[in-house]
Amino acid sequence: MFFLCVILSIILIVLWFVLYHMRSRSAIFLNKDEACEYFVAHHSLYINSLSKEERRIKGIDINGSCYDIGRKIISEFSIAEKKMIRNRLPPDQFDIPWFFIKVSINYENGYPHTINGAIVLSEGDVSSTVLRHERVHVLQKQYSEWFDSYYSNLYGVDRLSNIKIPSELKMRVRSNPDTPDLNYGLRVRSVSSTISHIIPLCLYEKDLIGVKSMSETIIVGYCIPTNQVYPIDAFKLWHDNGGPKEMKKAEHIHEWVAYNWEDGFPNLIYKKWKNYYKNNKV
Ligand SMILES: [Zn+2]
């Protein structure tokens, strides 16, 4: 009897393990038609917001509708690529399938990013770290309310309303599909300061007409309510209030957290998140 129980327990553990991994490895690769439809449905707003010059910088070399652009840049994953991605999927316990879209290497400089619930990749190797980073961006889009309160409580970053970023700054912002809302400001704790929040903005270094690559950028801190602008790497108030030193994290709170979580979801947060997630499944 004891022996039977042990065998049964082992079978159950193996079954759980297999099911757990099957669930976390459910990758769906959109074919070209599906991806184009998805692109138009979820990315038109973004594409239409790009200026002519920014389209050029982002490797969009046709004048046309969002659908035309999708047809030009979207391709399909090879069997080898699908296998590689499946093998790299980091296990997690979110009951959300992994959706993937493949685009050409010139589009968005080949940077992995997300469109709604789909991860967009171009050719080449992709690591589990990158996949988890993009997974965080998908979660940020689907559960923004949870993330807003998390940012406010743990990072001292508030989602601000009624902010009008001056147009001379806004026109130089490098658009990022993973950070559609710019109005997240790092709270300044000092009561004597006239500045209440600092909004980081990733700007092209010069007028867009002279910009050749998406990497020609500088991050500045735009101060609320004083409208002052400082380069963030030397901005003492930013650093004194916990703003990240690494420029890739400084760009936006979504990037800050995605980089912090890309090696694994923090356990304590993960438990809290799971409770929320159970009751608020999209
Ligand atoms: Zn990112």
Q: What is the pLDDT of residue 192?
A: 85
Task: Give 22: exposed, middle or buried? Use CB within 10 Å, 0-12, 13-18, 19+.
Answer: exposed
* DSSP character string of 136-148: HHHHHHHTHHHHH
Q: What is the pLDDT of residue 190?
A: 87
H/E run at residue 202:
strand 197-204
pLDDT category at 261 given cuts 50, 70, 90 is very high
Q: In this structure, what are the phi and psi dihedrals at residue 185, rounded to the nearest 5 degrees?
A: -120, 140
Helix (H/G/I), strand (E/B), else coil: 37? helix
* DSSP character string of 59-100: T----S-HHHHHHHHEE---HHHHHHHHHHPPP-----PEEE
For the residues 79-91, what does the mean pLDDT come to? 95
pLDDT over 70 at 25, yes or no: no
Q: What is the pLDDT of residue 24?
A: 47
> How far apart, in whole angstroms, are the C-alpha atoms of residue 278 and residue 82?
30
The lowest-confidence range among 70-74, 227-231, 273-277 is: 273-277
Q: Are 251 and 219 in contact (CB under 8 A)?
A: yes
Q: What percent of the chain has pLDDT over 90?
A: 77
For the residues 114-119, what does the mean pLDDT come to? 98
> How far apart, in whole angstroms, are the C-alpha atoms of residue 60 and residue 67?
12
Parse the chain into domains and list their residue ranges.
19-142, 157-260
Cα(168) to ligand 1 centroid in Å equals 25
Residue 103, beta-bridge partner list: 74
Cα(277) to ligand 1 centroid in Å equals 22
Q: What is the pLDDT of residue 181?
A: 96
How far lies 57's CA from each of 26, 101, 120, 245, in Å?
A: 34, 21, 18, 27
Residue keyed to tokens 């980081």? 200
For the residues 126-133, what does the mean pLDDT come to? 96
Cα(236) to ligand 1 centroid in Å equals 25
Reported as a single tens digit per residue, the pLDDT across 45-61 is: 999 999 999 999 999 98
Cα(6) to ligand 1 centroid in Å equals 46
Cα(177) to ligand 1 centroid in Å equals 9
Cα(254) to ligand 1 centroid in Å equals 7
Cα(129) to ligand 1 centroid in Å equals 11
Reported as a single tens digit per residue, the pLDDT across 156-174 is: 999 999 999 999 999 999 9
Cα(130) to ligand 1 centroid in Å equals 9
Cα(259) to ligand 1 centroid in Å equals 7
Reported as a single tens digit per residue, the pLDDT across 169-224 is: 999 999 999 999 999 999 999 888 899 999 999 999 988 999 999 999 999 999 99
Q: Out of 18-32, 86-100, 153-167, give the one with best mean pLDDT.
A: 153-167
> How far apart, in whole angstroms, are the C-alpha atoms of residue 44 and residue 65?
9
Q: What is the pLDDT of residue 91?
A: 86
